[in-house]
Amino acid sequence: MAILKEAYQALESIVGPEFVSDDPGIREAYRKGGYGKNRPALEGQALRPGCVILPGSTKEVQQILKICTQYKIPFIPIGCFGIATQSPKVPDVLSIDLKRMDYLEIDEKNMYAICGPGVIYAQLQAECLKKGLATEGPGCGVGATVIGNHLNAGVGPLEYRMGWAQRRMLGLEWVLPDGDIVTLGSTSLDDEDYFWGEGLGPDLRGVLRGTFGWQGGMGIVTKMATKLFPFPGQDLERTGISPRTGFNMPPHLMKWLNVFYNSIEEAAFAMHELSKAQVGMALMTAPFSWRYFSRATSKEDFHESWQEALPELKETTPYMMRIMLVGLAGPKQLEYEEKVVREVIGRVGGDVREGRPFDESWINNADAHRIMFPGGMETSMKFHFDSLDASIELAKAAAELKRKYTPPLLDDYGIPGWLQMGDFGHVAFCEILVYFDPTTDPNDCYQHEVGFVESVRQDLELKAYCGLQGSYGPEPQIIGPAYNNYHLKEKELQDIFDPLHISNPPRPLDYAYGIDLDIDLSPQK
């Protein structure tokens, strides 16, 4: 360990010996993982942290960050480690695992929850459903921490109705890299009051988060309030044994409608018209491969049935739009919404079929990581919030690009990703997925990275809002000049809030691995 003995002792005196460790085994467990694992651009050499600490309170977090400032120790905040940006890229970091801070309070009447950084979505959802409320679990699954996800991504199926995570953030408590506390919104007026996100004067939530956040590069949020939404959770019935577990949906209150199309444009137009009618709880066009992932009993089973189905699917290329309808005010609302959907589809076209009243994915995203099932690792060639028209263009362009590298990348045909409406039609989200397995085929990784760079260039040509690529890993310096040099402004802010650059360096602006510079794209050994 290269963290000074004196600093270690100071950390130990904050949390006690049980909750800090420099043991090599414990450190090894904080080296790798999450979205982008095995992508050298994101995780770099994935060094072992110098030490790992588990704080139990805001006060402890403050004291820890003061020690980090005093000894110039780089630190990484860790929720569930769902993203590889938590792999230490510089030596001797302090990994701050926040899981002990699982404070949760729900204000039922005012429909918000205050969460500690250790609370995961599933816990929040479990408590919400009992109270006739709900949150929106992200597509990566409800194992993600509420705060970790609100700070960096926050995209999931119910976003159509509930909005993108950053737009659900209310009052919060934030420990800056030097250990000082900042409270936002109404919390700045009253420590106990998390109701009001904006507060008086400038709203720092934009600084804290932006498009895809700082990846731990802005201190630690120790409490955050998030909006909740009405949902008939008490009427859901839990059922099944693993791996086939799900909710039986109350037929008088919830319904699935699946609508089939021959082209993505037709599906998108229908999504647009439906969101204009302001109906539905979720609205998405998903690739057919998802059906095969979710039904497969094993990887082998998936590949066998997928290979069998591919030729015909490629011929017919149907697109499936799924709509979840919920009668929030009762059965009459469900009836009304169904009528509206059928009327709209009658007008714009589409083959409507009613789905089984069962959900394993959208309400609680229990099976989200099934998208890993067919391949090794999954990342996104596109991950964009844009207008619906731009999203379609992007999706098609990315699908074309991906085919160029398939094989070795998994052949999942058509538009290999999802297209959904967010914020009740105000934005569309498109994610194009890529499956690669550098652990058995080093060439995969190479092809993947090359494809990724091309995809970024494609975004620039199409003038797309390259959210993810602009925030994770090495692309900002390619994208920055095309977008008002946002990355330089980000750097200025970082200098103000983290002048010592100790909060998860070198993220989020990771120049060392610049793709246009000298990133090593040779096949991984």
Ligand X SMILES: Cc1cc2nc3c(=O)[nH]c(=O)nc-3n(C[C@H](O)[C@H](O)[C@H](O)COP(=O)(O)OP(=O)(O)OC[C@H]3O[C@@H](n4cnc5c(N)ncnc54)[C@H](O)[C@@H]3O)c2cc1C
Q: Which positions from 283 through 322 interact with other proteins, judged by CB under 8 A?
A: 297-301, 303
> Would you say 418 and 431 are in contact if contact means Cβ atoms under 8 Å apart?
yes
Nearest distance in Å: CB 225, ligand X = 14
Nearest distance in Å: CB 410, other proteins = 7
Site pattern 186..215 for ligand X (x: CB under 6 A): -----------------------------x
Q: Which stretch binds ligand X (CB under 6 A): 38-46, 79-87, 301-309, 446-454?
A: 79-87
Is residue 421 near ligand X by the rule CB under 6 A? Answer: no
Residue number, 25 or 201, with CB nearest to other proteins: 25
Site pattern 365..394 for other proteins (x: CB under 8 A): xxxxxx-xxxxxxx----------------
Q: Which does residue 153 bind out of ligand X, other proteins, none, counting CB within 5 to 8 angstroms by kind?
A: ligand X
Task: Find the binder of other proteins among 21, 57, 333, 485 (CB under 8 A).
Answer: 21
Dist CA 95 CA 280 (whole Å): 42
Nearest distance in Å: CB 369, ligand X = 6
Is residue 474 near other proteins by the rule CB under 8 A? Answer: no
Contacts of 100 (CB under 8 A, 6+ apart): 19, 54, 55, 56, 118
Site pattern 375..414 for ligand X (x: CB under 6 A): ---x------------------------------------
Dist CA 121 CA 22 (whole Å): 30
Nearest distance in Å: CB 339, other proteins = 30
Nearest distance in Å: CB 71, other proteins = 22
For the record, the structure tokens of 423 come out as 């914020």
Is residue 140 near ligand X by the rule CB under 6 A? Answer: yes
Which helix (H) or strand (E) segment holds residue 302: the answer is helix 299-316
Dist CA 165 CA 227 (whole Å): 9
Pairing of strands 51-53, 94-97: parallel
Burial of 312 (0-12, 13-18, 19+ CB in 10 A): exposed
Task: Find the binder of ligand X among 8, 30, 35, 269 (CB under 6 A).
Answer: 35
Residue number, 128 or 220, with CB nearest to ligand X: 220
Q: Count of residues binding other proteins (CB under 8 A)?
A: 76
For the record, the structure tokens of 225 come out as 């309030």
**Which residues, 63 to 92, sit near other proteins by CB under 8 A?**
80-82
Q: Which does residue 102 bind out of ligand X, other proteins, none, counting CB within 5 to 8 angstroms by kind?
A: other proteins
Q: Which stretch binds other proteins (CB under 8 A): 185-193, 216-224, 236-244, 349-357?
A: 236-244
Among 324, 320, 161, smallest CA distance to 254 is for: 324
For 415, other C-beta atoms within 10 Å of its C-beta total 24
Among 224, 44, 23, smallest CA distance to 118 is for: 224
> Would you say 143 and 168 are in contact if contact means Cβ atoms under 8 Å apart?
no
Is residue 155 near ligand X by the rule CB under 6 A? Answer: yes
Is residue 156 near other proteins by the rule CB under 8 A? Answer: no
β-strand partners of 420: 284, 429
Helix, strand or coil, per DSSP, at residue 39: coil
Q: Which does residue 197 bind out of other proteins, ligand X, none, counting CB within 5 to 8 angstroms by kind?
A: none
- Amino acid letter, 341: V
**Which residues, 422 to 441, sit near other proteins by CB under 8 A?**
435, 437, 439-441
Dist CA 67 CA 9 (whole Å): 10
Task: Find the binder of ligand X among 3, 11, 67, 80 (CB under 6 A).
Answer: 80
Dist CA 404 CA 410 (whole Å): 11
Task: Please tell me whether the peptide bond between 408 and the residue prior to it is cis, using omega within 30 degrees of 0.
Answer: yes
Instruction: Report which DSSP code applies to 192.
Output: T
For the record, the structure tokens of 186 come out as 């109404």
Is residue 505 near ligand X by the rule CB under 6 A? Answer: no
> Would you say 19 and 56 are in contact if contact means Cβ atoms under 8 Å apart?
yes
Nearest distance in Å: CB 300, other proteins = 4
β-strand partners of 184: 172
Find tokens 């058509």 and name the residue: 414
Dist CA 445 CA 408 (whole Å): 9
Is residue 365 near ligand X by the rule CB under 6 A? Answer: no
Residue number, 128 or 176, with CB nearest to ligand X: 176
Is residue 396 near other proteins by the rule CB under 8 A? Answer: no
Q: Which does residue 484 bind out of other proteins, ligand X, none, counting CB within 5 to 8 angstroms by kind?
A: none
User: What is the C-alpha end-to-end distance of the chain, expressed in Å?
Assistant: 27
Task: Find the binder of ligand X among 58, 69, 85, 275 (CB under 6 A).
Answer: 85
Residues in touch with ligand X (CB under 6 A): 34-35, 76-83, 85-86, 98, 117, 138-140, 144-145, 147-149, 151-156, 215-216, 220-221, 369, 371-372, 378, 504
